[in-house]
Chains A and B, each alone.
Chain A
């Protein structure tokens, strides 16, 4: 009875804490500017099913895709086991679903195999990050917390899977001993090999089984509450993020409606613009970005596929699309904390541009869309870079000198170079 009450309290506390943090993240995302992404629901659903559920963009790199697939499918399927753990924990039952008979044995057996493949995949991921030191996992933005974050996630998953398998091994051994409460149920294709390392007395086995059971479920509840602080949040946000992703051609950049009004008024003095909300052009801080940009930032799992294909980054420039996303998340988190501590009106005098992302970074971009193409969950770092450029150019008139010269040429000569418009057709006179 005490165990059941303890279980109930822990579960409720974990869910409550997670809800509070999730709501904060959603509130932070809503600080972004409005953008309509409710059109074409069918196409959006298909995109989500293909890209998030179907992992279609992962296959570009087959080895990590293969390993990630095991971890992903393990995560999704082993959650069925968590349902049983929840019911057992609340009602003091043991293996409540064993009435399913053969199906139950099949399920437990497949969970074990999945748990094992998750274990192995995570171990390989740890080796890739820490021993092989793949270039994709390094970079200025991958020091300290982001580096530890990745390792914490992998180690936690290994511990959780170990506890699950050890629990099953102890359970199987108890079943063989005919211990009361331990009904004969389940199949143990993996954990049968662990039985030998366990003690042989019933009381010791019960301690092992119960400790692993509690470790497994407390671990899961703790991990759930780790997500909002971690890059691992992508396991939840990959789905809405792909659903609300851009469906237009990647080369198409948005036309700013506020500018359209001013230009129309300039070209035609009789034009009366429709009411639009006044605001600044482009983005200086995260709250000037759209809510989709901010959701992108929370979804990023820092895998670095974007940065590894970025022509600027490849050739040693400061720009890293992954850093753009991580800076955006760090800054919106900071803005959210300011609201919690000091209220909505508080200004901390900082901004995304300059305090997080430098001018050198935004001007190194070739707008080639390689980062957008590479992202397995359809994040768009390019849009953020463009919004920062818009602010720098339209609000501050601060662009590299040669860019200003180019803009001046377009304005005066209708071409980015200093040629006379009268000479535009001269090419036809030569052979």
Chain B
């Protein structure tokens, strides 16, 4: 990275507090493809000059996959440990790179003692565009390109956020096309509910293939995602269809970073 990503520990040592904490998430930390998205989110934060920080090695799984798999014990252990860290740093506002982390911290942490203002990175991007701090200039042009956006379940149906990611794409002057099943009727990528970590049950098709078939019907140049798990499922689908050259699967943070030459 061309700049240093600040950690909470460093800020605290310097007697400072960030405006916002960037919660990276496990996929964003370890998954090679998702790491790129993480770095792009940092580039955006750095570019607009928001005072931010990450937890670094002090971050830990939110417990989301454990909860969806039915292990409430492990979820609450993770949640309470994380809340202790977040509260110790006096965190007020959090942006997450993953809709699952977003949903868990926003909705399920308050009941366990952790109340914060939580936003997803697509909401942050929308806010920055609205405030005029972020445009789509100085980088790759998406003008006229066909982009279709895949709604992550935990951002869309789970929390009713359908507009922010689309607003972030509108600024590109691209051609936005909707899949047949979109917004509240969007089809899952197949990874939610801890499915990411297991083989699917017996059936006649994989869910991500069903979704990719539908996405390809729109004849897109870019499939936009907002979730590292959707990213994995959609990328696998594109690979399976042998369309890697024609169709790119990109996170909204990556598209934004590219459009601004970051």
Interface hub of A389, A423, A428 (most chain B Cβ within 10 A) = A428
Interface check A360, CB cutoff 8 A: yes
Interface check B177, CB cutoff 8 A: no
Whether A263 contacts B76 by the Cβ 8 Å rule is yes
- Separation of A66 and B38 alpha carbons in the complex (Å): 48
Q: Mark A396-431, 1 if CB is under 8 A from B, else 0.
A: 000110110111001100111101011111011111
* A395 to B: closest C-beta gap in Å: 10
Q: How many A-B residue pairs lie within 8 Å, measured between CB atoms?
A: 216
* A279 to B: closest C-beta gap in Å: 13
Whether B158 contacts A415 by the Cβ 8 Å rule is no
Whether B103 contacts A252 by the Cβ 8 Å rule is yes
Stretch of A98-106, A291-299, A306-314, A329-337 that contacts chain B: A306-314
A282 cross-chain contacts in B, Cβ below 8 A: 70
Interface check A369, CB cutoff 8 A: yes
Whether B80 contacts A251 by the Cβ 8 Å rule is no
- Separation of A222 and B45 alpha carbons in the complex (Å): 68
Interface check B185, CB cutoff 8 A: yes
Whether B70 contacts A392 by the Cβ 8 Å rule is yes
Whether B203 contacts A316 by the Cβ 8 Å rule is yes
Known contacts: A260-B112, A264-B80, A393-B70. The answer to whether A425 contacts B29 by CB under 8 A is: yes
Q: Mark B158-197, 1 if CB is under 8 A from A, else 0.
A: 1110000000000000000000010011111011111111
Whether A424 contacts B59 by the Cβ 8 Å rule is yes
Whether A427 contacts B153 by the Cβ 8 Å rule is no
Whether B210 contacts A386 by the Cβ 8 Å rule is no
Whether A249 contacts B107 by the Cβ 8 Å rule is yes
Known contacts: A315-B203, A393-B71. The answer to whether A252 contacts B108 by CB under 8 A is: yes
Whether A427 contacts B188 by the Cβ 8 Å rule is no
B26 cross-chain contacts in A, Cβ below 8 A: 415-417
Whether A259 contacts B201 by the Cβ 8 Å rule is no
- Separation of A251 and B69 alpha carbons in the complex (Å): 14
Partner of B193, one of A255, A365, A393, A421: A365
Partner of B204, one of A253, A255, A315, A370: A315
Interface check B139, CB cutoff 8 A: no
Interface check A86, CB cutoff 8 A: no
Interface check A126, CB cutoff 8 A: no
Whether A311 contacts B207 by the Cβ 8 Å rule is yes
Q: Mark B1-14, 1 if CB is under 8 A from A, else 0.
A: 11011010000000
| Residue on A nearest B78 in the bound complex, by CB | A410
* A52 to B: closest C-beta gap in Å: 19
* A333 to B: closest C-beta gap in Å: 26
* A51 to B: closest C-beta gap in Å: 14
Interface check A319, CB cutoff 8 A: yes
Write 19 A-B pairs (CB below 8 A) sorted by A numbering: A251-B107, A255-B76, A260-B76, A267-B77, A311-B187, A312-B203, A314-B210, A315-B205, A317-B201, A366-B195, A368-B192, A373-B157, A386-B70, A392-B70, A402-B197, A410-B66, A415-B60, A424-B30, A425-B56
Interface residues of A (CB under 8 A from B): 60, 248-253, 255-256, 259-260, 262-264, 266-267, 281-282, 309, 311-312, 314-319, 360, 363-370, 372-374, 386, 389-394, 399-400, 402-403, 405-407, 410-411, 414-417, 419, 421-425, 427-431
Sorted nearest first, the 3 A-B pairs with minimum C-beta distance are: A251-B158, A367-B193, A389-B70
